[in-house]
Amino acid sequence: MNRIDLHLHSTYSDGSYSPTDVVELAHQAQVSTLCLTDHDTTDGIAEASQAASSYGIEVIPGVEVSSLYRDKETHILGYFVNHEDAQFQQHLTWLRNSRHERIPRIIDKLHHVGVDISYEDVKAAAGHGSIGRPHVAQVLVQQRYVPTIEQAFSRFLKEGSTAYVARQLPDAKEAIRWIRESGGVASLAHPGWVRQSLSELEIACRELQTCGLQGLEVFYSSHTSRQTSEYLGLAHRLNLTATGGSDFHGSTRPDIVIGVGRGNLNIPEKIVEPLRQCAKENRKTVQ
């Protein structure tokens, strides 16, 4: 049986495996179509595509864009984006810089509470990836200020804690516009993350749809079967394309496995074609 997984992270953002390793793991998991959706960057796609070609795995060019919807961090997945589009890359660069810029301010706040880590340590933890809070968390664990990544976030890094610094993010509508202008399909990621009722979600989807939202991430590692069927019903009602993926990150979220999430994720292969068709139609209007 072929599996698909349309939500994967690599070392180009906060995942622990390189794109080549992600593809290798996908191959082992019998995944035939995958999408690398690193946060705010498409830089890992070329490596993933190259690695996938020898296995006959299809790599859909993708990205996960950080944004705000009604003051809450909201992630928008972009599928079949034209990652060679200069304008699109400009937007992503701006977004990565906004992630980058807050790191020295976070470190400064940490110094004030006696946590003495350096920018160089965090940069080293990020490697070639786009630097972010997970790398600060990694250093806090390495230097034994906290035992786990989760505690690094809850004690120091998350909203409301000692060293939290807000990040400048585009509005979700703006993020959707960027994806659409590059010919991609914009899908609202992990709708179960922000705890909200189904009717609130419906209002958000309808509003974002007027700005170009075309998909909803129905199949996701942490969705209960009830959520999955509710979201599938909502996607159907609003004529949104259902998308799905594990949100694999490797060792930073060790319970999530490529293709199967926590073991029972089943992303139907048949969702790929409607997504592809949608992108095809988009490209006609963009050009």
User: Where on the chain is the footprint of Zn ion (CB under 5 A)?
Assistant: 64, 75, 189, 247
Least Å distance, CB 7 to Zn ion, is: 6
Of the pair 64, 230, the CB lying nearest Zn ion is at 64
Based on CB atoms, which residue is closest to Zn ion, 39 or 109?
A: 39
Tokens describing residue 228: 């999955």
Least distance from C-beta 118 to Zn ion, angstroms?
A: 28
Please report how close the Cβ of residue 217 comes to Zn ion at its closest, in angstroms: 9
Cβ closer to Zn ion: 35 or 125? 35
Nearer to Zn ion, 110 or 259 (CB): 259
Whole-number minimum distance, CB 262 to Zn ion, in Å?
Answer: 15
- Interior/surface letters 260-281, b for 16+ CB within 10 angstroms, e for the rest: bbeeebebeeebbeebbebbee
Q: How far is CA 9 from CA 65, 149, 228, in A?
A: 12, 17, 22
30, two tokens = 């019998």
Residue whose Cβ sits closest to Zn ion:
75
Min dist CB 116 to Zn ion, Å, is 31
Dihedral angle, C-alpha 206, 211, 216, 217, nearest 10 °? -130
Nearest CB to Zn ion, comparing residues 109 and 190? 190
Q: Which residue has the tokens 């293709």?
A: 259
Could you give the CA distance from residue 127 to residue 157 in angstroms, rounded to a whole number?
Answer: 20
**Two structure tokens written together for 220:** 């996701």
Residue number, 117 or 240, with CB nearest to Zn ion: 240
Q: Do residues 276 and 253 make contact, with C-beta atoms less than 8 angstroms apart?
A: no
CB of 281 to Zn ion, least distance (A): 25
Residue 63: alpha-carbon gap to chain centroid: 7
Tell me, rounded to whole angstroms, the distance of Cα 23 from its chain centroid: 17
**Neighbouring-strand partners of residue 36:** 8, 61
